[in-house]
Structure 1
């Protein structure tokens, strides 16, 4: 794993193939960073499916409303929900949607991001300035690359656990 410089602003996502370490960017998108940490600490992201995974584009997850429990997973509904917390205002920046960057998923309204996020597989400059970037994978991108593809995948991969590094013993 990568050297963790700021454990309070680092997320560790455990996937079937290994850990993914994400450095969060609180100076760039403080509200999105706080939301991800709050949901991680509540265990809301644990066992949530990657419901939209497009080769060469991105892997989307975080629908804690519809994809949290195996019995609740419905491929037709997954990707349409958020959390019970209010939506977040856009925190656009000049940071690019580069490989390994974390973006906030949203509806057509810029201020509709909630719990869902995506990890970019490649440079997706067409998203720049339109979706909030609030983190960067610093290790484990090879595990992200192995996530099952599909919209939704027939057999979706899941985030086994999502933890704030400061909380991991």
Structure 2
């Protein structure tokens, strides 16, 4: 009876499923990045990312914007496909609707993953970025969706872009497969 009460108590508290991602990267960087997603912090964004990953939408998408000492951006499932015309990479999203911001007190430290957006806080869709270094100016202004738990050395090797916007020239590194983990 005591075990049943404990189990019912745990269910009532609602411990969230440990949802994450495994991202296989190929290019200058080669390997797998593991991610813990913040389903309690940004449930709608996590649902969108995991649905896109489960559909295979992220497979073959490049890191199109990579700024040394700041972040690596990917996830443009519309225009950011490997082998495609990279001139529009970073300007697209998915067929799913944009999301309302889910800002939190999670700090944008090294390894934190945030949702990319336009100037409209409610415009995040499919693109996300991984922090190389702390960026406190993003705190409370972008939705934090997860944290790298393994493979940060792979993130550190992702091919860097050029210029102030960090556009990757030539052949960018690619997410060859993105899997949802539990």
**5+ unaligned residues in a row in structure 2: which ranges?**
1-15, 162-166
> Which residue pairs with 1:118 in the alignment?
129
> Which residue pairs with 2:173 in the alignment?
157
- Superposed CA RMSD in Å reads 1.3
Q: What is the TM-score of this pair, normalised by structure 2?
A: 0.84
Q: Is the 8 A contact 2:94 2:126 kept in 1?
A: yes
Q: Residues of 2 paired with 1:138 and 1:125: CA distance?
A: 20
- 1:135 CA displacement: 0.1
* Aligned pairs (5 A) from 1:1-169: 9-16=19-26, 17-70=30-83, 73-150=84-161, 151-166=167-182
Q: What is the DSSP-based 3-state SS (H/G/I as helix, E as strand, rest coil) of the residue aligned with 1:14?
A: strand
Q: Is the 8 A contact 1:92 1:131 kept in 2?
A: yes
Q: CA-to-partner distance for each residue in 1:33-69, whole Å, 9 max, x for gaps?
A: 0001000000000010000000000000000001235
> Which residue pairs with 2:164 in the alignment?
none
After the TM superposition, list the runs of 4 or more consecutive aligned residues in structure 1 that deviate by more than 3 angstroms: none
Q: Is the 8 A contact 2:18 2:36 kept in 1?
A: no
Q: Residues of 2 paired with 1:138 and 1:153: CA distance?
A: 28
